[in-house]
Amino acid sequence: MKNIQISPSILSADFSQLGKEIKRLEEGGADLIHVDVMDGHFVPNITIGPPVIKTLRNYTKLPFDVHLMISPVHKYIKNFAEAGSDIITIHPEATDNLIESIQLIKKLKKKVGISLNPNTEIVVIEKILKEIDLVLIMSVFPGFGGQKFIPEVIEKIKKLHQIKKNNNLRFDIEVDGGINFSNSKEVILAGANILVSGTTIFKENKGDIKKNIETLRSM
Ligand code: DX5
Ligand code: ZN
């Protein structure tokens, strides 16, 4: 059985208690902490920026899986690296020069993630897959937690997994948006090895984070 990692999104946490919420996630067995950064421009919602991430760094040693939904992203990459991000994930549409942005993330010694919206095709990154550490497949249109999983994305995960196998590549396949106990198995079987989840982890089983993480991981 392959190793499945769970990256809870703090978008569904109590924002007045973020430090405590992150500790709860760590105690509940999270592998990563998914931080959704939104600018009200690339997506129609606004969340948090580098100063908050820097403060949260004191609450856990778990890697920060930082999902940047901001544009133009390039000039902020350094700030997010210095704030304590471990994985920096960007959308190809949010930068004028994807290669330069990837190189900058590498230069800052952070893992590179590229996120594909439901309507962004794999071909956009196919030639550069060996340069990146993680592909974040969006299974909702980014902007809000609690949306419904788009089932067509399963085929995309399968296709990406096939490309990964055929070319002997090592990037992680992470899936984000609408993951729940009914679709997690299919997502894992399609080839994902990291699942992001906000609503399911914080709200199911009366907020029993440990149980919800275990259930997602075990399919
Ligand atoms: C969507 C974000 C997510 C998402 C996850 O823009 O990137 O990380 O909110 O939350 P759920 O699991 O509630 O869909
Ligand atoms: Zn996200």
pLDDT tens per residue, range 158-167:
999 999 999 9
Measured in angstroms, how far is the CA atom of residue 38 from the centroid of ligand 2?
9
Residues with CB under 5 A from ligand 2 (ion): 36, 67, 176
Q: What pLDDT, on the 0 to 100 scale, is given for residue 2?
A: 79
Q: Domain 5-218 belongs to what architecture?
A: Alpha-Beta Barrel (3.20)
**Which one from 14, 31, 36, 133 is the annotated catalytic residue?**
36
Radius of gyration (C-alpha) of the chain in whole angstroms: 16
Site to substitute for ligand 1 among 144, 148, 195, most atoms within 8 A of C-beta? 144
Ligand 1 atom closest to the Cα of residue 140 is: 1
C-alpha–C-alpha distance, residues 33 and 211, integer Å: 17
The residue extents of the domains of the chain are 5-218
Task: Confirm whether 39 is a catalytic residue.
Answer: no
Cβ contacts of residue 9 below 8 Å, gap of 6+? Answer: 34, 35, 36, 145, 176, 196, 197, 198, 201
| Global confidence as pTM | 0.98
**198 to 9, 85, 100, 103, 160: CA distances (angstroms):** 5, 19, 31, 30, 24
Angstrom distance (rounded) from CA 121 to CA 207: 35
Kindly give the parts of the chain with pLDDT less than 70: 1
Give the list of residues 6+ apart from residue 189 with CB closer than 8 angstroms, or none.
none
pLDDT at residue 118 in the model? 98
Ligand 2 centroid from CA 114, angstroms: 11
User: Which pLDDT value is given to residue 1?
Assistant: 59
Neighbours of 40 (CB within 10 A): 12
| CB-neighbour burial class of residue 60 (10 A; exposed 0-12, middle 13-18, buried 19+) | middle
* 49 CA to centre of ligand 1 in angstroms: 17
